[in-house]
Amino acid sequence: MNYQASPNRYNTMRYNRCGQSGLLLPAFSLGLWHNFGEIDNYENGRSIIRKAFDAGITHFDLANNYGPPPGSAETTFGKMLKSDLASHRDEIIVSTKAGWQMWEGPYGDHGSKKYLMASLDQSLMRMGLDYVDIFYHHRPDPDTPLEETMGTLDLMVRQGKALYVGISSYNAEETRQALRVLKELGTPCLIHQPRYSMFDRWIEDGLLEVLGDEGVGCIVFSPLEQGLLTNKYLKGIPKVSRAASGRGNGALEADQITAEKLNLVAQLNAIAAERGQSLAQMALCWVKRDPRVTSVLLGVSRPEQLEDSLSALENPGFGEEELLRIEEVLAGRG
């Protein structure tokens, strides 16, 4: 069926400046790590992409290894772009990454120029694009000189294959050094992509400060701890859920859902209910409470989840007492 984008798509989404750049990103962006692989239902994924774009989500986040199998999420997305969104390319920010193992042999992993340049070319082919808007180095590589990895990001921009560059999962000190090298090369780092949720707060310990000081944007991933920070696992593991899917590639596994975590989830769920929100909505608002967080990456397996998560924008603020109660729960004193 032909798709016509909603004429109201820019009415409700908020757009935030990405660090000190000229680029605005939506408060919520869509990630395609899971649910868009060759093993997934194509029409379901297509409905998610359409619904996202209709809701003002202009940013779609990919990586070379998303699937499964690796690469297939980019192929799927390329097909959807072509069939539904081709005339909207200039309204869309597409990102991809390389840094984890992608192909056999010594040149399919980590941070060498050899790997990153080939990977970006492959990603462009799979998505049917001439350029990506953002290219990330996916994780730090202590064995490759930072000058080589950052020099490669700079080269991608100079070749016109990426408009902006970013880094993912670099710690505060690694980030400071990468930003310095990129600045010297004349290609400033646009954005950092770290994991952040109520259960994983490492970025509060220095990274956010570096990004704030240096004027670099921040887009956070796995804000729901892959679904754990929702009410879905409170009564056992549903058959249709990421934890039951056995997808591999870092996906949530059943043994990560411990009684201790579920106890915290139940208490957080009660606080969310008092706010008139689902736990998913509250968890999304919580990561967004820091103004240095430019955008939050949503990962959804169904269009209804996207709707639920987007409703978080209706009640994003927290009272001081609510934040304190959440802190008490997270500290195990709830």
Q: Say how far apart CA 283 and CA 291 lie, in whole Å.
A: 16
Q: Is 305 among the residues that bind ligand NAP (CB under 6 A)?
A: yes
The reply to whether 175 sits near ligand NAP by the rule CB under 6 A is: no
Query: Which of 58, 193, 294, 295 contacts ligand NAP by CB under 6 A?
Result: 193
Shortest Å, Cβ 51 to ligand NAP: 13
What 8-state DSSP symbol labels residue 82?
I
Does 71 contact ligand NAP by CB under 6 A? Answer: no
Q: Residue 101 and residue 139: Cα distance in Å, rounded?
A: 11
Contact 216, 192 (CB under 8 A): yes
Mask for 106-125, x = binds ligand NAP (CB under 6 A): --------------------
- Residue 173, exposed/middle/buried by CB under 10 A (0-12, 13-18, 19+)? exposed
**Using rule CB under 6 A, residue 32 touches ligand NAP:** yes
Separation CA 113–CA 214 (nearest Å): 26
CB of 225 to ligand NAP, least distance (A): 5
CB of 321 to ligand NAP, least distance (A): 25
Place of tokens 């956070």: 220
User: Is 103 strand, coil or helix?
Assistant: coil
Indicate whether 308 belongs to the interface with ligand NAP (CB under 6 A): yes
Contact 113, 124 (CB under 8 A): no
Does position 286 interact with ligand NAP (CB under 6 A)? The reply is no
The smaller minimum CB distance to ligand NAP, of residues 112 and 168, is found at: 168
Q: What Rg, from alpha-carbon coordinates, does the chain have?
A: 19
d(CA 199, CA 85): 36
Which is nearest to 25 in space by CA: 107, 121, 92?
A: 92
Which listed residue (119, 123, 226, 277) binds ligand NAP by CB under 6 A?
Answer: 226
Q: How far is the CB of 268 from ligand NAP (least distance, A)?
A: 13
> Binding to ligand NAP by residue 67, rule CB under 6 A?
no
Total length of the chain: 334
The verdict on 233 binding ligand NAP (CB under 6 A) reads no
Is 149 a binder of ligand NAP (CB under 6 A)?
no
Q: Do the beta carbons of residue 168 and residue 111 sit within 8 Å? A: no
Position 300 contacts ligand NAP (CB under 6 A) = yes
**For the window 236-255, what string marks contact with ligand NAP as x by the rule CB under 6 A?**
-----xx-------------
Positions in the binding site for ligand NAP (CB under 6 A): 31-34, 61, 138, 168-169, 193, 221-227, 230, 232, 241-242, 280, 297-301, 305, 308-309
